[in-house]
Amino acid sequence: MRFFILSLLSLITYSTIFSQVAPDTYWIRFTDKNGSPYSINNPEAFLSPRAIDRRTAQGIAIQQNDIPVNQTYIDAVAGAGATVLNVSKWMNSVTVYTTNPSVITTIEGFSFVLSASKVSDETKKTTSIKPFIDNEKIDEEGINKIQTPGKSGQSFSYGSAYNQINMLNGIALHDMGFDGTGMVIAVLDAGFTNANILSAFDSLWINGQILGTKDFVSPLSPNIFGSHSHGTNVLSTMGANLPGQMVGTAPHADYWLLRSENGSTEYLVEELNWVSAAEFADSVGADVINSSLGYTTFDDPSQDHTYSDMDGNTTPITIGADLAASKGILVVNSAGNSGNSSWLYIGAPADGDSVFTIGAVNSSGNYASFSSRGPTFDGRIKPDVVAQGQSTVLINAFTGSVTTGSGTSFSSPVTAGMVACLWSAFPDRKNTEVMEAIRQSASQYSSPDGFLGYGIPDYLEAFNILEATAAHTIQLDLKMYLEGAFDGAMMSTSINGLLPFNQPFISAPFNYSGNEAVTAIPSVDIVDWILIELRDTTEAAFANASTQVARQACFLKSDGTIVDTSGTEMPSFTLTVSDSLFLVIHHRNHLKIMSSIALKDDGNGIYSFDFSNNINKAFGIDPMKILAPGIYGVVSGDVNADGSINEADLDSGWDNFSGNRGYQSGDLNLDGQVDNRDKDDFWYTNQSYGSQVPE
């Protein structure tokens, strides 16, 4: 899945289309961010710790589009007489309001202004038709019309909402303790009428799960709880908590309530409001965005989208949604409600290649005919998955009663809540990995189509998929002895002062490119560098080089313990383990060895293995030598590290350097000197040995 990089060409095209003279709302785009006091090296100045942590967890770098818009530019636009409504750092723009066309003329003359485009016209608001919301229905008769009986899981009594979560096998996640706790969902919608007073949301307010609100439609006169009921219906499918009547899919998640949609008009400015709201969601650290919104046609026909615009790269809102996803947010968006209309297809931003697009089915899991279809104009599968969107159980915003509604506006948040629950079990996974696991779990993953996409997900199966591929932190508590250095009880540290500061395994046959290095050897009891390797397979005999999953250069201490370059800590890896781990240890002039059995977790992520106390701990027949009663060690003499002790070792590492001091491969007893003791005591006596590690 690719993340879209802001398309200048697409935005210039839209600037041209919408550059109409009208005394209303305008989109002012800037040429640059020159002179900004902010830096990508100091993101704490403009991003919350949660926003930074999300990027860090997913390996996402801070970028120039994260830098706020130049305040001097904003001030200049305001100084020209325009009222600044919203700012977008991703688009490097502002939206402004003015009734004076000469103000826009002045702004267009600023050297730092790229364009000024009209994005709404209030004179047409009384004739508004909203293709998305107007095609949805709320049952005003209330709970008496609901056919589904109330049922419970182990953790929650879902009441009439049982079917819509059970269809997704989401109850299993709740019963495992994954109910949205610790996750932040930003709800971008048209308003949240009475959500501050309805009993269905009492627990959200009492427990501080409503983190805040922000109005991007009327930023100067906010009206979050009195502007529109749509967001209340949407929020209820996730956050309602009326035991025995209705429990949402993420009752313990935290929420930001963000108004980006003007319920009484339909203009391009609402897409720009959405982008500003998504940026805000990013900055405060939201994990998931639910957007039960979509845009196709507008009150001003010159702003209308076409199906060819549904290519994932064209509309402003889709560009913004993909940018939100590029920051590590999982953007869940309704497919649309045009399945029965002449439009038929998904709208924007559901066409985004990084957007998780949700279609609708009925209570039996069959396609709901109103649900917008795929593919995208460029042929990609959409929707991604589906959930119950026909007769979805929700809260009536005016009465507070449990009722039903139909529209992809409700299948989307049902999904967003489950996404939050699933992701809370694997908080270090990328948004793309979570989406892909959900797709793979779905009912028609092997044969997706334009109606249901990949089908109805099974969130327990998605959990199992992520669990099977989860990256675990593994610490290795290891012990081994080198024959040449062993002095009867410990190993000699004679070459401690000769050890290189950089790992010595970069050349053949090791070809290890790791950057392990120290500024000084960390301890006087360090014997030498070694290279440890992990192989992931079913049994030792199959653990050849192709099963290698990780390597690390470490230090071997005189008591046989192995430590990382700190000199004190156990080596550690963060790995996805498919089968079992087998340990291989390399030394520059001793035969490599491999554990004969798989490493075992002690329950705390520590894997212990001691080669020194049993010859059978190493794979093969007599793979080590007895160094003292009950003590075994790795065989010395493999000067060229090719796995065999033979004439080539004498020729390559002993003859040429005999008599030399230093860190030499021919120094088989590790005393700092290449001499006859190396040849006679180790090379000569060990010529019958060879490595038995599978190749």
Instruction: Report if residue 71 sits inside a domain.
Output: no
Looking at residue 177, the DSSP 8-state letter turns out to be T
For residue 387, the Cα-to-chain-centroid distance in whole angstroms is 22
Q: Do 622 and 643 share a domain, yes or no?
A: yes
Q: Do 209 and 236 share a domain, yes or no?
A: yes
- Structural domain containing residue 236: 127-468
What pLDDT shows up at residue 39? 92
Tokens 């402004």 correspond to 96
Instruction: Report if residue 568 sits inside a domain.
Output: yes
* Contact predicate 318/14, CB 8 Å: no
Q: Do 224 and 373 share a domain, yes or no?
A: yes
What pLDDT shows up at residue 145? 47
Q: Which residues pair with 25 in a beta bridge?
A: 97, 120
Q: Do 436 and 368 share a domain, yes or no?
A: yes
* Contact predicate 183/211, CB 8 Å: no
Positions of the chain with pLDDT under 50:
1-23, 126, 144-145, 147-148
Mark which of 405, 434, 468 sits at the end of a domain: 468
Q: Do 258 and 390 share a domain, yes or no?
A: yes
Q: Do 153 and 292 share a domain, yes or no?
A: yes
Q: State both tokens at 1.
A: 């899945």
Q: Do 511 and 442 share a domain, yes or no?
A: no
Q: Do 426 and 528 share a domain, yes or no?
A: no
* Contact predicate 417/253, CB 8 Å: yes
Q: Does an H or E element contain 25, and which?
A: strand 25-30
SS3 sequence, 528-596?
EEEEEEEEEECCHHHCCHHHEEEEEEEEEECCCEEECCCCCCCCEEEEECCCEEEEEEECCCECCEEEC
Q: Do 509 and 643 share a domain, yes or no?
A: yes
Instruction: Report if residue 4 sits inside a domain.
Output: no
Task: Report how far residue 350's alpha carbon sits from residue 150's, in angstroms, rounded to the nearest whole number.
Answer: 33
What pLDDT shows up at residue 12? 41
Q: pTM for this structure?
A: 0.74
What pLDDT shows up at residue 150? 56
SS3 sequence, 244-263?
CCEECCCCCCEEEEEECCCC
Instruction: Report if residue 93 sits inside a domain.
Output: no
Task: Report how far residue 268's alpha carbon sits from residue 597's, in angstroms, rounded to the nearest whole number.
Answer: 64
Largest CA distance in the chain: 100
Instruction: Name, in order, each residue with C-beta under 8 angstroms of 170's C-beta and a sequence gap of 6 or more.
Output: 249, 418, 421, 459, 460
Task: Report how far residue 113's alpha carbon sits from residue 77's, in angstroms, rounded to the nearest whole number.
Answer: 9
Task: Report how far residue 576's alpha carbon sits from residue 550's, in angstroms, rounded to the nearest whole number.
Answer: 10
Tokens 């998955």 correspond to 385
What is the per-residue pLDDT across 250-291, written as a single tens digit (0 to 9) for each?
Answer: 999 999 999 999 988 899 999 999 999 999 999 999 999 999
Mark which of 468, 493, 508 sits at the end of a domain: 468
Task: Report how far residue 391's alpha carbon sits from residue 411's, in angstroms, rounded to the nearest whole number.
Answer: 10
How many helices and strands in the chain, by DSSP H and E? 15, 28
Mark which of 450, 468, 486 sits at the end of a domain: 468
How many Cα neighbours within 13 Å face the side chain of 654? 24
Instruction: Report if residue 394 sits inside a domain.
Output: yes
* Contact predicate 94/309, CB 8 Å: no
For the chain, the distance separating the N- and C-terminal CA atoms, rounded to the nearest angstrom, is 35
Instruction: Report if residue 453 sits inside a domain.
Output: yes
The enclosing domain of 342 has a CATH number of 3.40.50.200
Q: Do 550 and 416 share a domain, yes or no?
A: no
Name the domain count of the chain: 2
Q: Do 201 and 264 share a domain, yes or no?
A: yes
What pLDDT shows up at residue 9? 38
Instruction: Report if residue 273 sits inside a domain.
Output: yes
What pLDDT shows up at residue 613? 96
Looking at residue 536, the DSSP 8-state letter turns out to be E
Instruction: Report if residue 382 sits inside a domain.
Output: yes
Q: Do 445 and 576 share a domain, yes or no?
A: no
* Contact predicate 456/385, CB 8 Å: yes
